[in-house]
Structure 1
Amino acid sequence: MKSEQQFWQDVASGVNPGWTVRVDPLSAGPTPNFTRNDAFIYVVDVASGWLGAGATTTEDAAKILASSRTLLADQDNVLTLGSVNTADVAGKAIALCGAAHADAAAPEVAAAVSMTVAALHETQTYARAVHANRQSGQADMAGHWIYIAYRTKNGEGIITRPVWVSSIHPGIGQTGRFLDPDRLLEIVRSVIHGDTSSTQTSVGDAIAADGGAMVSPKLLLPS
C-alpha cells in the first residue's frame, strides 16, 4: 500500500494536462490570457480561505477524467483516503492544500485541481452546463468552474459544492481568461453564505446536519 503523500504525487504526475496552475488568485496580479484554454477551474478551501486555480481545455479535461478514473481504480493507492469517490478525493485534496497553505509547486495542488475536474464530470451541474454550452456552440467544459470544499465543525467529512459560470455570461464570464479576482470572491462569498445560512438545499442541509461549516473570515460577506 502506498503512502498518502505518494498517492498525491502519483495523481500529480499521472494526470498532467500541461496547464497553468495558480494559487490564491485573489491576491494575484493581472490575469494573463490563455487563448487556447476554455475551462477554468477554481478550488476553494472554505475553512482556511485558500484558493487555487487551473486553466485547461475541454479536450485535456477528458484526458484528466480518464487518467483520474484509472488512478482511483487502483485500490492500493486510495486505502489511506478511505474512499474512491472522486468528490471525496477532490475535497480532501483541497482541504489538505488549505491546511498547508500550499503553493503552486506542491503536488497536492495539481492533484486537487485534477481530481476536481473528474469530480465535476459526475455532477448535475456539469450535465446542465454541457447542455447550455452545446446550445450556444461552446465546448462541453467551457466556462468557469468553482469547486467549494467545506470542512464541518463535527469533523465527519468534507462536503463539496460545484458552481458553473458560463464564459459568455453577461458581465461575469470571460473567454480565455480567469475570472476577475473581485468577481470570483463575490461569487464564492455569496455561495458560501447561501449554503451556511439555509437548509433549503442538499448542501446546506448536509452542512447543518454536521454541525455547521468552518468559514474563514476572508470568505464571509461584508457586514
Structure 2
Amino acid sequence: MNNEHKFWHNIAATVYPGWDVFLDPLSKSSSGGLSDADTFIYAIDVATMWTAASCLRAMDAQRAADDMQRQLAGFKGGQITAADVAGEAIVTCGRNSSPPDSREAKIAINLTVCALRQTQTYKIATEKSGSMLGHWLYISYTLNNNGGILSRPCYFHPEARGLMDPDKLTSLIHAVVRGDLTNHTTLVGRTIKDSGGAVVAPALGLTP
C-alpha cells in the first residue's frame, strides 16, 4: 500500500463524523442544497483545480467541527489536527480526480470545516457574528521544492444565499492565487516564493 492509499485508508477508517453535509458538483444546472443553509464551504486544489462545495447551517458548523476534532483525537494519539490533514485530503482528491460527491470529497470537506475554525481568519470573521455564516474558501497549494502542502482560508459574506456561481468562484480563486504568487509581503506569498513556487493548474492561466 503506497503512502497516498495508506493515508486515505487511515483517515477513512478513523474520521467520518455522523453529521450531514450537502455536496454539490458546482454544475451550472445545480439548484443548490438545503433550503435553509447559510454557510458555504469550497475546497480547492490549485494544482488541478479540483473543487468540492458544500453547504450547511451555521448553527450546525460548530457541532460539525467539534465532532471532527473528537474523531481526530483518536487518530495518531491525538497528535494530529484538521489543519495538518485537510490540505493533504484536498490535494489527494485532486490527484485522484475524486468525484465532488464522493466519500473522499466528503471527508475532505469535513476536515476543511474543522480546519477553518483553527485559522486567524475564522477568529476575525466570527468575532461579531459568532458563527460561520457566509462563504469560505480553503485553497491548497502543492509547493515546488519539496512537494509540501500549504493551505490558506478566504472568507466572503455576501447577502445572497446559495452556492456561489461557478464562474464567480473561479474568478475569486484566480484573484486569490494571483495575489499569493505575486505578493511576497504576506506569509503565504513568502512561503510560496521561498519554496520555488507552487504547482498551478493551466486552467487558471497563471505561472508561479
- Shorter-chain TM-score category? 0.7 to 0.9
Counterpart-to-counterpart distance in 2, 1:209 and 1:113: 29
Aligned position for 1:200 = 185
SS at match of 2:163: coil
| Alignment size in residue pairs | 201
Q: Which runs of 4+ in 1 moved over 3 A?
A: 75-78
CA distance in 2: counterparts of 1:148 and 1:215, whole angstroms: 12
Q: What residue ranges of structure 1 are gaps of 5+ in the alignment?
A: 169-173
TM-score by length of 2: 0.88
Range moving further from structure 2, 100-109 or 147-156: 100-109
The answer as to 2:172 corresponding to 1:212 is no
Instruction: Report if the CA contact (8 A) 1:40-1:55 is conserved.
Output: yes
Does structure 1 residue 181 correspond to structure 2 residue 166?
Answer: yes
Q: Percent identity?
A: 32
Residues 25-104 of structure 1 aligned to structure 2 (within 5 Å): 25=26, 27-32=27-32, 34-76=34-76, 84-104=80-100
Rounded to whole Å, the distance in 2 between the matches of 1:117 and 1:105 is 16
When normalised by structure 1's length, the TM-score is: 0.82
116-125 or 67-76, which deviates more: 67-76
Q: Distance in 2 between matches of 1:108 and 1:166?
A: 27
CA deviation after TM superposition for structure 1 residue 33, in Å: 5.4
Question: In the TM superposition, what is the alpha-carbon distance from 1:217 to its structure 2 partner?
Answer: 1.4
Provide the residue aligned with 2:133 in structure 1: 142
Q: Which moved more, 1:39-48 or 1:50-59?
A: 50-59
- Separation in structure 2 between the aligned mates of residue 69 and residue 33 of structure 1, nearest angstrom: 25
- Cα deviation, residue 22, structure 1: 2.0
* Native 8 Å contact 1:65 1:117 kept in 2: yes
Q: Which amino acid aligns with 1:120?
A: L
Runs (5+) with no aligned partner, structure 2: 1-5
Report the equivalent of 1:165: 156
- Between stretches 30-39 and 118-127, larger displacement belongs to 30-39
Output the amino acid matched with 1:44.
Answer: I
- Give the drift of 1:35: 2.3
> CA–CA distance in 1 between the matches of 2:122 and 2:135?
11
Shift of 1:48: 0.7
Is the contact between residue 43 and residue 94 of structure 1 (CA under 8 Å) also seen in structure 2? yes
